[in-house]
């Protein structure tokens, strides 16, 4: 049903909405103030960890990344830990390495800023984005993210 992207690679599932979609997933790192620092796009069918692996993560040593349960990967956590970056992802109930309850609470509180950033960016997006090519579509998405970033920086 999508004119710009076609094929099984771009067909993803949104668990929170319990629906399928054609397109891209946006993976973003934001500051405590909600300013996007890094972002990447992956086709809808790709797992969220592929988005994290695709980011250069040029973050200062001692940084903490808060993420949802889809970003749970113990190998990546250990690699980032070696670089001085702490990845705190929400854990599923059957996790082999569960967090302490207070850490889970801290993660849920900190993740709200990320979710607010996404909903704020969604406010900037029109209902439809007129694009003829995939690159044109991605350029427009990048422009909306940059516009949001500038808006947040000017409000500081």
Domain ranges of the chain: 8-155
Comparing CA positions, the residue from 60, 50, 48, 53 lying closest to residue 86 is 60
pTM: 0.86
For residue range 70-102, list pLDDT tens digits in order. Answer: 999 999 999 999 999 999 999 988 888 999 999
Determine the Cα–Cα distance for residues 61 and 85; give it in Å rounded to an integer. Answer: 6
* pLDDT tier for residue 15 given thresholds of 50, 70 and 90: confident
CA distances from 4 to 24, 86, 93, 131 (A): 11, 37, 38, 8
Tracing tokens 């007129």 back to the chain, one arrives at: 130
% of the chain surpassing 70 pLDDT: 99
Comparing CA positions, the residue from 102, 117, 97, 94 lying closest to residue 34 is 117
């Amino acid at each position: 049903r999508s004119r710009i992207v076609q094929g099984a690679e771009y067909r993803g599932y949104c668990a929170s909405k319990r629906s399928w979609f054609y397109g891209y997933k946006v993976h973003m790192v934001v500051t405590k103030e909600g300013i996007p620092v890094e972002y990447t796009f992956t086709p809808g069918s790709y797992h969220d960890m592929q988005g994290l692996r695709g980011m250069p993560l040029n973050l200062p040593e001692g940084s903490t990344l808060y993420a949802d349960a889809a970003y749970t990967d113990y190998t990546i956590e250990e690699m980032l830990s070696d670089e001085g970056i702490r990845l705190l992802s929400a854990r599923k109930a059957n996790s082999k390495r569960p967090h302490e309850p207070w850490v889970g609470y801290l993660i849920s509180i900190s993740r709200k800023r990320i979710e607010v950033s996404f909903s704020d960016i969604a406010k900037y997006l029109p209902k439809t984005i007129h694009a003829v090519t995939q690159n044109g579509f991605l350029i427009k998405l990048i422009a909306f993210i940059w516009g949001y970033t500038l808006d947040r920086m000017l409000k500081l």
